[in-house]
Copies of this chain bind each other. A is one copy, B any other.
Amino acid sequence: MDRKKTKAVFFGPLQVGGGAPVCVQSMTCTDTRNVKKTVAQIRRLEAAGCELIRVAVPDQEAAQAIEAIKKKIKIPLVADIHFNYRLALAAMESGAEGIRINPGNMAREKIRAVVKAAKERGVVMRIGINSGSVEKDILAKHGGPTADALVESTLRNIALVSDLGFDAIKLSLKSSDVATTIEAYHAIAAKTDYPLHLGVTEAGTLVNAAIKSSIGIGTLLYEGIGDTIRVSVTGDPVSEVGLAFGILRALDIRRIGPDIISCPTCGRCEIDLIKLAADVEKRLTGVKSYIKIALMGCVVNGPGEAAEADIGIAGGKGFGLLFKKGQVVGKVKESEFVNVLIDEIESMIPERIKKVNKGV
């Protein structure tokens, strides 16, 4: 699929838009003023592959904490600001590579001050419109936070800074309603070429967030829309990163982490495939290398149906056929499935796979 061309913006060395790979971001849920906890969470996110991190900046102390946080992390940081232009200025002074702020909330001279600082420091501004941020007159005109309302609010906010010659803009238009989100991004992608940050807001806990985000973000990415994604999960933000790469991997937009295809099992299956899939998935936690692994319940269809897999097992009764790219290369006892697969996979990827104690 062709990706829509957008302008490039730079969060330090990280390019977003302009043909760069779709990048994955998250947001901390720690108190930003607690540098130690915030750094620890960002490091876990970095380890999971997170490429851009946002932190809430509710006050001056939080804005100033960014300086200390930045010293201990590798990925660029975006300061999330509500209303207060002084916090935007302080966050930029502390080294934030991006700010998320809606200029519509600020007086003209304050916008001017923020834009001036952002220009001087090469800071990106995300205009992040969502259902709750739409201006009252626009809500009244559209009868609520519809997709058109989100788009009109976005265009109004863009104008406030682009009139000042500021162009390092990234956009998001989020609704907790999936269809509204998709429609809003469709419309804005047709009207501007600023890079787009995709997300469905307030998507809920892990599985519901996976559903809503995969439909919303996935539909748009499939159409070539979107430059960076953030999955919102009510839960550990590390899970947001896993889901985001899962979406990108499912659409073959980025090849990071193992792609495990496994059948749902049926009355024909004679091995414990559910346990096998869970065990293999667990052993491969944290692996970043892309490899396509097929775990299939029956020998008749397995190797053929999963011919595109780099490696796979197709289960018989108490044994399985090991296959690579659709060719059977060996026969394995069921008790040896996991060990044989992990050894083979390790020989096929550049990474080491974490050892576990026997019997796990």
Contacts and interface: CB of A to CB of B under 8 A. Distances in A.
Interface in A225-284: 232-237, 240, 242-243, 246-247, 250-252, 260-269, 273-274, 277-278, 281
Contact of A177 (B132, B219, B233, B252): B252
Nearest to A209: B264
Interface string A20-58: 000000011111110000100000000000000001111
Nearest to A206: B207
A301 B177 CA distance: 17
Contact of A266 (B29, B131, B207, B263): B29
Interface stretch (A162-170, A196-204, A352-360): A196-204
A32 B304 CA distance: 24
A247 B305 contact: no
A217 to B, nearest CB: 8
A172 interface: no
A179 interface: yes
Contact of A28 (B33, B251, B267): B267
Interface string A333-346: 00000000000000
Nearest to A235: B274
B277 A234 contact: yes
Contacts of A264: 27, 29, 202-203, 232-235, 237, 240
Contacts of A31: 267
A130 interface: yes
A145 B304 CA distance: 10
Given A235-B274, A267-B31, A215 B261 contact: no
B203 A29 contact: no
B222 A261 contact: no
Given A176-B306, A234-B273, A262-B234, A267 B212 contact: no
A208 B252 contact: no
Interface in A140-196: 144-145, 176-179, 182
Contact of A182 (B205, B211, B222, B261): B222
B234 A263 contact: yes
A179 B301 CA distance: 22
CB-based closest 3 A-B pairs: A132-B305, A215-B218, A56-B267
22 contacts: A55-B267, A56-B268, A177-B308, A178-B218, A179-B222, A179-B251, A179-B252, A202-B264, A202-B296, A204-B262, A205-B277, A207-B242, A207-B246, A210-B210, A210-B214, A211-B243, A214-B215, A215-B247, A219-B219, A219-B222, A234-B274, A240-B264
